[in-house]
Amino acid sequence: MNEPVFLRACRGERVAHVPVWFMRQAGRSLPEYRALRGTGSILEAIADPAVACEVTMQPVRRYGVDAAILFSDIIVPYHAIGFGVDVVPGRGPVIADPFTSAADFERLRDLTDVDIAHVTETVDRVVKELEATNTPLIGFAGAPFTVASYLVEGGPTREFTLIKTLMHTQPLLFDLLLERLSDITVSFLRAQVAHGARAVQLFDSWAGALTRDEYRRFALPATERVIASVADLGVPTILFGVGTGELLDLMSSANSTVMGIDWHVELDEGRRRVGGRPVQGNLDPARCLGGVDAAVQGAREVLARAGSAPGHIFNLGHGVLPSTDPSALEAVVRVVHEEGMAGVS
């Protein structure tokens, strides 16, 4: 079959239409997702391959997006190895016993195929479902710095005081932590690709909390290592962070195939900062809360910034917000497919 437009756009090729998918398109805002999941834990849903496959497929059917993204979470590998992670509704990942010293490395053991058998079975099921439409599946993982932030802070934070204290007062311990997390991340990504994922995204959601010097010293080396360690798989890699406009050139040096641009930076400026490599983004998710007209107008503004150069994958500048009306996203997909000109052959 012909290579999907999403994969071709990732490689900077000219395509038949601008591809589009949405971060957090699976779940949250979809009524069919809420009906399926009920009140159960998200980790329970992820652990059930039949449920996780169905949730992954729901936005593909509803929106007609050009790629599926696996229904999972960046803390899944650490839950699987027994580090003591839970996802609290309305808050996010919470660590019962945060990482504080070298003794905690005992809880960060190697990730095995058995640990994530439920994830790879989900990938198998989704890939089979997607075969008829030749829609690619995107696998993903958390970047080492962002995962370290959760493990050290014990949960989401606005201040990053504990992780920054560790970085600056015990840099060697911090380096060892990120090296360990890099190994686990690579294993998780490689397993997803081995079972059929055709691209992977690395979420460095909290990298924007770092200064340029901090990012260069404490986050970039581990990100480079992860991306280099999956390069032989031959699938596109996407690197994304929030509030990372001032870091885009540094992040680009990690050599991902595609750079995700959040909504804080205009897309044309983001392209300039990453040296013209393929980009993904970057409609402000909040623009979709105002209904169809507001979402479509925002999408057209992003397309205008994208211009006609190849190598643009349309996406939001972060994940779909829970209160988003699915009809707004349906309209965005239509206008991107019909009006987007970036790299159209």
Torsion angle of the four alpha carbons 338, 339, 341, 343, in this order, in degrees rounded to the nearest 10: -30
Task: Catalogue the active-site residues.
Answer: 24, 28, 37, 73, 150
Per-residue confidence (pLDDT) for residue 71, from 0 to 100:
96
- Torsion over CA: 210, 148, 204, 291 (sign): negative
Per-residue confidence (pLDDT) for residue 120, from 0 to 100:
98
Where exactly are the structural domains of the chain? 5-339
pLDDT in tens for each of the 345 residues of the chain? Answer: 589 999 999 999 999 999 999 999 988 889 999 899 877 789 999 999 999 999 999 999 999 999 999 999 999 999 999 999 998 887 889 999 999 999 999 999 999 999 999 999 999 999 999 999 999 999 999 999 999 999 999 999 999 999 999 999 999 999 999 999 999 999 999 999 999 999 999 999 999 999 999 999 999 999 999 999 999 999 999 999 999 999 999 999 999 999 999 999 999 999 999 998 999 999 999 999 999 999 999 999 999 999 989 999 999 999 999 999 999 999 999 999 999 865 555
Residue 333 DSSP class: H
Close Cβ partners of 96 (under 8 Å, ≥ 6 residues apart):
84, 85, 86
Per-residue confidence (pLDDT) for residue 69, from 0 to 100:
97
Total residue length of the chain? 345
Beta strand pairing call for 92-95 and 85-88: antiparallel
Query: Which fold, 5-339?
Result: TIM Barrel (3.20.20)
Cis peptide bond upstream of 315, omega within 30: no
